[in-house]
Amino acid sequence: MRRATLAALLLLLASPAGAQSLPSTAPESPSLERSVAKIAATAQLVACGADTAATMYGRGAGLTTEANPIMAPLQDHPVAFGSVMIGGCLAVVAVERHVATNHPRIVAVVAAALAGAQFAIAVHNAQLVERR
C-alpha cells in the first residue's frame, strides 16, 4: 500500500508544470481613452478635496453656509461633513472605473465635466471667503 501511495505521489510530482498552470494571457495595453479616464478621475478627486477644504474653511471661519440641502445638516460636524463629501466622490469614481472597462471614452468625458464643475464650485467657495 505504501509503495502504491509513494508511486502515485511521485507520478503527480513528475507531471509537467505547464499542465498545472493556467493559460497565460497577455495583459491588455491601456488605451488612450482609459488613460484619459484615469487622469480625469484623479482630477475629480483633487477637485472634490479642494471643494471640501474650501467649504470647511469658510464654514469654520463663520463666513459661509452650505447651500446643498443634503449636506447642510452636516455643516457643523466637520468629520461627518468631510467623510460624506469625500466618500461620495470616491463612490462616483468607483462607478466610473467600473463603467470605464466597457466605455472609457464616455467615462473620460463625464469625469472631466464633473472635475471641472467641482473645481468651479471650489473656486466659488474660495472667492466667497476672500470677499468677506
Establish if 9 belongs to a structural domain: no
Establish if 19 belongs to a structural domain: no
And the C-alpha cell for 82? 468631510
Establish if 15 belongs to a structural domain: no
Establish if 14 belongs to a structural domain: no
Asked if 107 contacts 99 with a C-beta cutoff of 8 angstroms, the reply is yes
Establish if 22 belongs to a structural domain: no
Region of 92 please: left (phi>0), alpha (psi -120 to 50) or beta.
alpha
Establish if 6 belongs to a structural domain: no
Establish if 16 belongs to a structural domain: no
In single-letter form, the type of residue at position 51 comes to D
Structural domain range at position 91: 30-131
Q: What is the pLDDT along the chain (132 residues), one digit of tens a residue?
A: 555 554 554 444 455 555 555 555 545 556 788 888 889 889 999 999 999 999 899 888 888 888 889 999 998 899 999 999 999 999 999 999 899 888 888 988 999 999 999 999 989 988 888 876
Please tell me the total count of domains within the chain: 1
Establish if 94 belongs to a structural domain: yes
Cα torsion 83, 73, 57, 64 to 10°: value is: 150
Q: How far apart are CA 113 and CA 115, in angstroms?
A: 5
